[in-house]
Amino acid sequence: MTTVGLIANPLAGKDVRRFTSAASLNSDRSKIEILRRCVLGAIDAGAEKVLLANDFRNLGLRAVDGLNLGSKIEEMSFHPEGRRTDTTEAAKIFKKEGVKSIISLGGDGTQRDLVLGWTDAPLLPISTGTNNVFPFMVDPTVAGTAAGLIASDELIIEEVSQRAKVIHVELPNGIKDLALVDVVLVDDRLTGSRAVVKPDSVKQVLAAIANPASIGLASIAGRSKPVYFDDESAVSVICDPKAKQGVFAPIMPGSVSDVGIVDIKEVELGETIELNGPGVLAFDGERDFVMGENESAKATVLRNGPKVINPNFAVQTAAANKVFLRKRNS
Amino acid sequence: MSSDNIFEGANEASSDEANSAERKLGYGAAVVETLAQIMREDESVFVAGEDVGAHGGVFGYFRGLQPEFGEDRVVDTPIAEQAIIGLGIGSAVQGLRPVVDLMFMDFICVAMDQIVNQAAKLKYMFGGGAKLPLTITTAGGAGLSAAAQHSQSLEAMLCHVPGLKVVMPSDAYEVKGLLTSCVREDNPTVFIINKRKLADTCHVPEELFEIPLGEGHIVREGSDVTVVAIGRMVDEAKVAAEKLSNEGIDCELINPRTVQPLDIDLMVESVSKTGHLVIVHEAVRFGGIGAEIAAQIQEQAFDYLDAPIERVAAPFSPIPFSPVLEKQYIPDAERIVAGIKNLF
Amino acid sequence: MEITDEILIDLYKRMVRVRLFEEEAGRLAESARLPGFLHLYVGEEAVASGVCGALESQDQITSTHRGHGHLLAKGGDFNRMMAELMGKSTGYCNGKGGSMHICDLDLAMLGANGIVGAGVPISVGAAYANKLTNNGLISVAFFGDGATNIGAFHEAANMAAALSLPMLFVCENNEYAEYSPRHKTMAITDVIERAAAYGFPGAIVDGMDCVAVFEAASLAIEKIRNGEGPMMLECKTYRFYDHVGVKGTASNYRTDEEVEEMRKRDPLVVHETRLIDSGVMDAESIQAIKDGIQKEVEMSVEFAENSPFPELEDMLLDVYTNGESS
Ligand SMILES: Cc1ncc(C[n+]2csc(CCOP(=O)(O)OP(=O)(O)O)c2C)c(N)n1
Ligand SMILES: [Mg+2]
């Protein structure tokens, strides 16, 4: 079966950064409309089935309401709880079901949750989050087309995707976690409202993707020493509010901060970086793990992440292959 | 105290039903039974309100309707009193026969525009074109320590508005007969359920029957004084009348059943016999229904009156929470006795 | 805004005050020692505590039918609360208001409310007064998810935005309005979408975590005080007991498993664990706080029971200012 997986994080783009910055609200309605366009694009491109991850808002089901696609739409049978782990659980089911491509709506945090469930997922991430370094800004119809063409074997995934880097983190308690964009050590002892909203609290940034043109904590690294998706390296920046040197970085949408930096260094793939407590580790922008005085985490960047499908390139490739030219019945 | 157990029994038929030749039914249970029977015979009737469906109403008097008639005919609405009445008005104009519920009578205030400016006036403003077979059910009355916003008797406000009919059943029998009339009526009616009466039972026929709106009822005949009591006050007045009959005062007790239209003829007739009138209601005295009745009686039966008209009603304050104050606030048999004695 | 040990402990005390008072009130109601309807706040303590902890003492709040928690978290007095619940003359409202109308104007708590949604427009008025007198204060309206379906909420939200008032909207989204699950009465899940509709920002926060609420509220309050207009904080929370009264399980509208699941996220336990893990307090000092507050609660019951009922001749007192009703 040529199946496209489709998932949306209902909570993406709704946290406190709407107070502290000019971040916009990503409403359920707008996500529903994006999902609908994805479905239509995918089916039109030849996907036989779209497997919907039933988020707890039923965004997916509401998106296909009235389309009358019958058996072409399948709802995943699991019970979402309205938490981060829903995305991870859904990813595991996508893997088990062997979907050929996944469109995932969310920001960097959502994509990370998905990869936690399926590390080398064939992933087409669409940005509906607050920080969107990893996912694409793309018209969902085009994204649907790209995912559908891959599912129906009109495109070969290896030709239109690239493995992403992953920051693998071993926490002091032995648990393994990961990030796709950045792991940041924050001078704090609480996860609080999760988002990192105090620029001065950033102690260390380890970024696998540090694009000067993107938003979020990784921009501190990106505007110091850029590292791109394709680059076979990562970057580590040590920050200190009292440093002699600063970098102007948009750590939140519309909110550019002068962050003091004391050290910038290139990190090789496979190299282990220590992040020493006390502090809170933020993964892809969210404070998540509190480290005590003598605790430390180990981080290693490897290129063994998801196969990230570039929708524009995929559709361009298909056009070059004349996939869209179809015979008409006269 | 939970709403589940406050109103327990509201929905059950009396247990001695089997032994009794006369079938007895609870006041709350009569609401459900009536609605169910009407809904079976008339497809155009539907019920809507907050928690009336899956939960069966916070007072239990819609329980069982949704399982039988489904979610489309027994609709759980959002908390939206204006839209609930609007739902009723619009669908009534379209030919349905909605029964919409406002839970506590106090909440009519939230929906006052839809009730007063819309439902009551549409027909007239449209030159007679529209028909509004709309029933609004709501629970009024004090006595549960529910304080100032969950205990009021606001019938006088509604009676002041041309176009509305206002109905106040005093027992389960009247619930059935009057509710049937309301639902079959082609005008907007407000059906005021007394929340302290829910578990009280009395004889109620199995089949649907109508009590005409605007016809009062002589509960007890007597020769010395006419007592007009409204809603639950009928119970208190009965007790008062019994007590006074031992003291040689013979009360004629009238229950108007509907306060708009008001059966003033029945009262005029009675007063012309007794020469005395006492009016009892739970609402505040100032501007209450008693004032209207008193005015009409002096217009039509002035010559028969042997004493000023007495009103027994609530003092002019919001309803106090404290049980000691609330008890003092609500008129009871004792105060009715005192009021009647004032005349002699 | 640094979240100091002091703040962490303060938030904890606020929650414990609400919890222990409410549990006691629940017991009293079950043994028929409290008249009237009782809407308990148990489970939602992190919301009132986190928000009130972030306010200045004279910032106004308006509350709901589930209002004990708001007053207590703002520093309400146990004795006057308990006496009010019993309808005694020493109560916050001299026994005339009861559970649904408790208020403390000295604490700028402008009343619980028996009419769903009705406090929100009143908060608009308080915010307007703040703006007009330039007193630097803000007002906060607490309201439930269900309340956002009523007209009053919408008019208030629009007006607050149109007049750019210093006001924080706090939605306590506990997923139910009485016995109706949210999804049956609205086509949206997140109430902050309603803030967006009226043109002001809103954010969602974990309403079972007092620190998350405190931090988010503080961020919003700073901006609001700065003159940036209203904002809405939506706290995802849960009530452990029934809509009215206690029980809480064996309901016909939610499953016991769901309640069980949410009880695992008990805001007090979440915070206690954090206090201990971060070394801010140990188990003994936590217990000592609880014991001390429990004692105060018990004393308030005694105070209330020994207090007199209002005098009957006071029935008409306070219907009007300067002059009696007749
Ligand atoms: C105008 C009005 N309509 C209905 C009610 C009855 N009522 C009391 S509380 C409630 C539910 C409120 O739900 P929500 O706002 O979510 O608050 P919660 O009880 O969940 O805290 C309802 C319908 C009321 N008090 N006022
Ligand atoms: Mg609610």
Using most ligand atoms within 8 A of CB, pick from C65, C169, C171, C189 the residue to mutate for ligand 1.
C65
Contacting A residues, span 93-132, partner chain C, CB-CB under 8 Å: none
Could you name the CATH architecture of C5-317? 3-Layer(aba) Sandwich (3.40)
- Say yes or no for a CB contact (<8 Å) between C219 and A28: no
Tens-digit pLDDT profile for residues B266-300: 999 999 999 999 999 999 999 999 999 999 999 99
For residue C12 the two structure tokens come to 């904890």
Q: Please determine, for residue B11, whether its predicted confidence score (pLDDT) is greater than 90.
A: no
pLDDT at A326: 81
Q: Please determine, for residue B302, whether its predicted confidence score (pLDDT) is greater than 90.
A: yes
The whole domain housing B254 covers 217-341
pLDDT at A1: 74
B12 lies in a domain?
Answer: no
By CA distance, what is C187's nearest residue in B? B78
Tens-digit pLDDT profile for residues A115-172: 999 999 999 999 999 889 999 999 999 999 999 999 999 999 999 999 999 999 999 9
pLDDT at B3: 42
B300 lies in a domain?
Answer: yes
* CATH code (residue B171): 3.40.50.970
The reply to whether B155 and B77 lie within a common domain is yes
CA A170 / ligand 1 centre spacing (Å): 48
Give the lowest-confidence range in A21-35, B154-168, B325-339, C67-81.
Answer: A21-35
Which amino acid is it at B206? E
pLDDT at B20: 56
- Report how many domains make up chain B: 2
The reply to whether B39 and B180 lie within a common domain is yes
- Say yes or no for a CB contact (<8 Å) between B325 and C87: yes
Mean pLDDT of chain A: 94
Give the lowest-confidence range in A18-27, C75-84, C146-155, C293-302.
Answer: A18-27
Tens-digit pLDDT profile for residues B205-236: 999 999 999 999 999 999 999 999 999 999 99
Interface test with C, best of A9, A17, A18, A289 (most C CBs within 10 A): A18
- Residues of B noted as catalytic: 150
Does the beta carbon of C312 lie under 8 angstroms from any beta carbon of chain B? Answer: yes
Mean pLDDT of chain B: 95
The reply to whether B245 and B159 lie within a common domain is no
The reply to whether B125 and B165 lie within a common domain is yes
pLDDT at A111: 97
Q: Which residues of C touch A193 (CB under 8 A)?
A: 205-206, 212-213, 215-216, 219
- Residue C182's pLDDT band (cuts 50, 70, 90): very high
Query: Which class would CATH give A166-302?
Result: mainly beta
For residue A30 the two structure tokens come to 């707008």
Tens-digit pLDDT profile for residues B164-196: 999 999 999 999 999 999 999 999 999 999 999
The reply to whether B170 and B244 lie within a common domain is no
Q: What's the mean pLDDT in C280-285?
A: 97
- Say yes or no for a CB contact (<8 Å) between C202 and A10: no
- Say yes or no for a CB contact (<8 Å) between C100 and B150: yes
The reply to whether B298 and B185 lie within a common domain is no
Which atom belonging to ligand 1 lies closest to the Cα atom of B107?
1
The reply to whether B227 and B197 lie within a common domain is no
DSSP-H helix ranges across B45-198: 65-69, 81-93, 112, 122-125, 155-159, 172-184
Q: Please determine, for residue A231, whether its predicted confidence score (pLDDT) is greater than 50.
A: yes
Residue at a domain's end among B179, B203, B227: B203
pLDDT at C253: 95
Mean pLDDT of chain C: 96
Interface predicted TM-score (ipTM) of this complex, two decimals: 0.96
Does the beta carbon of C106 lie under 8 angstroms from any beta carbon of chain B? Answer: no
The reply to whether B162 and B244 lie within a common domain is no
pLDDT at B8: 44
Helix (H, G, I), strand (E, B) or coil at C281: coil
Give A3-164+305-320's CATH code, choosing from 1.10.10.410, 3.40.50.10330, 3.90.850.10, 3.40.50.300. 3.40.50.10330
CA gyration radius for chain C?
19
Q: What's the mean pLDDT in C208-233?
A: 97
B8 lies in a domain?
Answer: no
DSSP-H helix ranges across C102-252: 119-133, 151-162, 182-185, 192-198, 210-225
- Residue C174's pLDDT band (cuts 50, 70, 90): very high
- Measured between alpha carbons, how far is residue A138 from residues A37, A146, A310, A312 in Å? 11, 11, 10, 8
Q: What's the mean pLDDT in A65-72?
A: 92
Nearest to C204 among A15, A57, A81 (CB): A15
- Residue B6's pLDDT band (cuts 50, 70, 90): very low
- Residue A79's pLDDT band (cuts 50, 70, 90): confident
DSSP-H helix ranges across chain A: 17-20, 28-44, 59-64, 85-97, 108-117, 140-151, 157-160, 218-222, 311-320
The reply to whether B289 and B260 lie within a common domain is yes
Tens-digit pLDDT profile for residues A304-326: 999 999 999 999 999 999 999 98
Q: Please determine, for residue B134, whether its predicted confidence score (pLDDT) is greater than 70.
A: yes
Shortest distance between the Cα of A291 and any Cα of chain C, in A, equals 10
* CATH code (residue B303): 3.40.50.920
Tens-digit pLDDT profile for residues B76-108: 999 999 999 999 999 999 999 999 999 999 999
CB C144 within 8 A of CB C172: yes
Among B320, A61, A318, smallest CA distance to C183 is for: A61
pLDDT at B7: 47
The reply to whether B136 and B96 lie within a common domain is yes
Which atom belonging to ligand 1 lies closest to the Cα atom of C114?
25
Check: pTM over 0.90? Answer yes or no.
Answer: yes
- Residue spans of the domains in chain C: they are 5-317
Tens-digit pLDDT profile for residues B17-69: 444 578 999 999 999 999 999 999 999 999 999 999 999 999 999 999 999 99
Alpha-carbon gap, residue B146 to B152, rounded angstroms: 10
Angle made by CA atoms B332, C65, C42, in degrees to the nearest 5:
120
